[in-house]
Amino acid sequence: MKTRTTILAMVVLCAVACTKQEARQAQQDAKAKARQVADKVSAIVDVAVPFNGTEEDKQAREKQRFDEGWRRLDVFRNVRPAVAGPAQPAKPKVQITFVANGKESLKKMTPEMINSAPVAIPIKGDVNGPSVLKTQVYLDRLDFAVGAIDGRWGRNSAIALWWYQRAHGINAAEPGAVDEQTFRALAEAAGGVAPLVSYTLTDDDVKGPFVSVPQDMYEKANLDCLCYESKLEKLSERFHATQDFLELLNPDVEFSSLNAGDKIWAPNVREPVTQDRPDIARVVVSIRGNTFNAFDAQGNLIFHAPTTVGSKYDPSPNETVYVKDIIHDPYFHYQPTLFSEVPDEEPEAHLKPGPNSPVGVVWIALSKAHFGIHGTSDPDSIGYASSHGCVRLANWDAQEVSHRIAKNVQVEFLDTQRTTQTASQ
């Protein structure tokens, strides 16, 4: 009987000890969860960003698309010519058929016809077609991004090409326009790949959730995530294209019904950078030129993208700053006091992360309060519309930059609003 009592007491003591241990573990788990919540809260960014575009914005973009005032800006006029580096192995010659002054269109063309079409030169002005698409894809693959690919020429493509020509010592008769020499250089550097590919969708490509994102900031704050609104939107960002262009390439596809294993035609763009490899040593942003240029430690231009920067109401900083922090999938703290067009007495709001966040999928904080480099919910506006003082990139470009830049990298602003005001006085 005594032995049984002793055993029973030991069991009780063990149970009590286990209960205390479980309580301690539960307490530790609670503290860990609290720290995670605190980390998330600390990731909320205080930044001024634009609202979604309007029809008037689209009209303004169309007008700006062929404005060549960028050629007169300091960032273009004062750039040093490329310095020839060590000899590189000769790249395989690419078989290209050129036609002079050929009029092109993407209408009624199959992807196979687009891939095999001859190259019509020169490419400049208001033109569209297979030759433009090939040039846009090659520039994208060579890290000279053109914004959202649409097979139509314009300032984003012309500026990206201008910088590629300058960085690689291509002395074109008309910089920013495509001639035979320039197209051959692009095609050979990009390996002569087909501009369009037949792509098999993965589970991740069609995975949701998909949500309807309202315009109102306070309604957005009620959403669990600012996710993609549709499979079409998600795929258009995956392939750096406008939604209209992706539909043009796939006229018989019902995007909302797509499943893993289905095939679509898509631009043959560069693969996403998903691992950190910081090679950007310096960034130069032209406010009026809408350009984002990243250089390595030797001064080589290694990444270019169109950007949208500060408007006359909330100008970007007229100074040199540096990268302070890099936050992926940031929360967004909406503060009316940071918006010139919003009454200060309006309440604040906190928005969940997602590609349709006002700051997109990444926030690269700069050393000036409320300023940063970030993504966008409106990639078609990049290079044209004005923001509220920050440097906006397409989500795919912002994501790549976030993996190729590090804290304390210098960011310099040129062609600022202050420069414009001074020049006009």
Tell me what percent of the residues of the chain surpass a pLDDT of 70: 77
pLDDT of residue 417: 58
User: Is 138 in the same domain as 205?
Assistant: no
- Output the domain CATH number for residue 162: 1.10.101.10
Residue 259 lies in a domain: yes
User: Is 262 in the same domain as 285?
Assistant: no
Residue 7 lies in a domain: no
Minimum mean pLDDT range among 148-162, 187-201, 366-380, 392-406: 366-380
d(CA 239, CA 230): 15
Interval 109-138 mean pLDDT: 96
User: Is 419 in the same domain as 292?
Assistant: yes
pLDDT band at 52 (very low <50, low <70, confident <90, very high): very low
d(CA 141, CA 361): 21
CA angle, residues 54, 59, 63, in degrees to nearest 5: 145
User: Is 247 in the same domain as 353?
Assistant: no
Residue 365 lies in a domain: yes
CA angle, residues 183, 184, 190, in degrees to nearest 5: 90
Does residue 186 contact residue 142 with C-beta atoms inside 8 Å? Answer: yes
Residue 341 lies in a domain: yes
Residue 30 lies in a domain: no
Domain boundary pick from 207, 239, 267: 267
User: Is 312 in the same domain as 384?
Assistant: yes
pLDDT of residue 65: 83
- Output the domain CATH number for residue 339: 2.40.440.10
Domain boundary pick from 150, 175, 194: 194
Domain boundary pick from 267, 286, 301: 267
User: Is 59 in the same domain as 135?
Assistant: yes
CA angle, residues 261, 266, 271, in degrees to nearest 5: 90
Residue 46 lies in a domain: no
User: Is 358 in the same domain as 300?
Assistant: yes
Other CB atoms within a 10 A radius of the CB of residue 46 amount to 14
Which two structure tokens, joined as six digits, stand for 329?
A: 């999938």
**How many domains is the chain built from?**
3
pLDDT tens-digit readout, 183-224: 999 999 999 999 999 999 999 999 999 999 999 999 999 999
Tell me what percent of the residues of the chain surpass a pLDDT of 90: 61
Task: Give me the domain span that covers residue 150.
Answer: 55-80+91-194
- Best-predicted range by mean pLDDT among 2-6, 207-211, 305-309, 418-422? 207-211
Q: Give the residue among 37, 38, 39, 44 at the shortest CA–CA distance from 330.
A: 44
User: Is 280 in the same domain as 382?
Assistant: yes
Q: Give the residue among 326, 239, 319 at the shortest CA–CA distance from 280.
A: 326
Residue 1 lies in a domain: no
User: Is 60 in the same domain as 188?
Assistant: yes
User: Is 189 in the same domain as 219?
Assistant: no
pLDDT tens-digit readout, 282-331: 999 988 889 999 999 999 999 999 999 876 656 677 789 999 999 999 99
pLDDT band at 45 (very low <50, low <70, confident <90, very high): low
pLDDT tens-digit readout, 56-102: 567 777 777 877 777 777 667 766 556 544 445 566 688 999 998 77
**CB contact set of 338 (below 8 Å; sequence gap of 6+):** 46, 47, 48, 314, 370, 388
pLDDT of residue 94: 87
Residue 241 lies in a domain: yes
The β-bridge relationship of strands 45-46 and 332-334 is: parallel
Predicted confidence (pLDDT) at residue 29 exceeds the cutoff of 60? no
User: Is 123 in the same domain as 212?
Assistant: no
- Best-predicted range by mean pLDDT among 76-90, 96-110, 245-259, 344-358? 245-259
Does residue 383 contact residue 147 with C-beta atoms inside 8 Å? Answer: yes
User: Is 143 in the same domain as 208?
Assistant: no
d(CA 296, CA 279): 6
Q: Is the pLDDT higher at 385 or at 4?
A: 385
